[in-house]
Amino acid sequence: MNIDVNGQGWTDEEAATAFSCHRNTVANLRERLVKEGIDSALNRKPSKMPPRQPIIHGEVEAKLIALRCGEPPAGQARWTLRLLADIAVELEIVPAISHETLRQVLKKTNSNVSVSSVFIHK
pLDDT digits (tens, 9 = 90+) for 26-67: 999 999 999 999 998 889 878 888 787 777 888 999 999 999
For the segment 13-32, the average pLDDT, to the nearest whole number, is 93
Q: Taking a C-beta distance cutoff of 8 angstroms, is the pair 32, 40 a contact? A: yes
What is the reported pLDDT for 63? Answer: 92
- Which 3 state secondary structure label does DSSP give 81? helix
Work out the percent of the chain whose per-residue pLDDT is above 90: 57
The whole-angstrom separation of Cα 88 and Cα 105 is 13
Q: Taking a C-beta distance cutoff of 8 angstroms, is the pair 72, 84 a contact? A: no
